[in-house]
Amino acid sequence: MAAIDVTDATFQAEVIDKSQEVAVVVDLWAPWCGPCKTLGPIIEKVIDATDGKVVLAKVNVDENPGIAQAFQAQSIPAVYALKDGAVVDGFIGAYPEHEVQRFVDSLQPTEEQVAIKELIDAGDEGSLRIALSREPANEDAIVALAELLIADGNNDEALALLGRIPESDRTRHVAALARVGVAPDDDYDEQLTALLDQVKTDDEARQKYVDLLELMGPNDPRTADYRRQLTSRLY
């Protein structure tokens, strides 16, 4: 897989967002940098051999000073590895090939991780349960299985499954769906208005109100107003 030339404008999409899917190695270089010319072909060769398991993003710091500033790079070549939007490793200088190989090898998924991803990608209940037997706290597998369980009406099991892992934006939405079920016929307004008088003293009403807002989502223009009304009733 060829290296990607990344700019200040494309850094978010090509590096930060991409690192949510696969490890991304950022190589900061410049045309005048002798050690960069030594390291460049080595790191390209090693990462190309991963067949896409690691992605190389090259940044000309002369043309894209914003990225260099973001990494607070004091000299080049500077190499940083990102996973899930965060820097997990890095080095400065022109490392020899065996050191670059060791660096890149540490970023590649293990055979077990690859097997679990394949099970999750399969997406059927049996595969997801096998994935969770091998990695019980895998959020992707838990969310996917919970969604299947909700579709089959097994909402309590879905909620118990979601309770295994810390709450996140993804789990809150799926948990809300498990508790509320299908969207109300009135498109939320009628139920939210009716619940508003109960939220201060009734825990179940308050939870349902919050769940309905979760299902509406932050992009619904009504959500912010209903949240303000909830806050005014509670405090």
Catalytic residues: 33, 36
d(CA 85, CA 127): 28
Phi, psi of 89 (to 5 degrees): -170, 170
Query: Token pair of 161, please?
Result: 């499954």
Exposure pattern of 44-56 as b/e (b: 16+ CB <10 Å)? bebbeebeeebbb
Which residue shows structure tokens 């080595």? 42
Query: Token pair of 97, please?
Result: 């090939």
Q: In this structure, what is the dihedral angle of CA atoms 40, 45, 51, 53, given to the nearest 10 degrees?
A: -50
Alpha helices in 55-96 (DSSP H): 65-71
Other CB atoms within 10 A of residue 179 CB: 20
Report the candidate in 109, 110, 107, 128 with the shortest Cα–Cα distance to residue 119: 128
Radius of gyration of the chain (CA): 24
Report the candidate in 163, 172, 173 with the shortest Cα–Cα distance to residue 137: 163
Cis peptide before 41 (omega within 30 of 0): no
Amino acid at site 180:
V
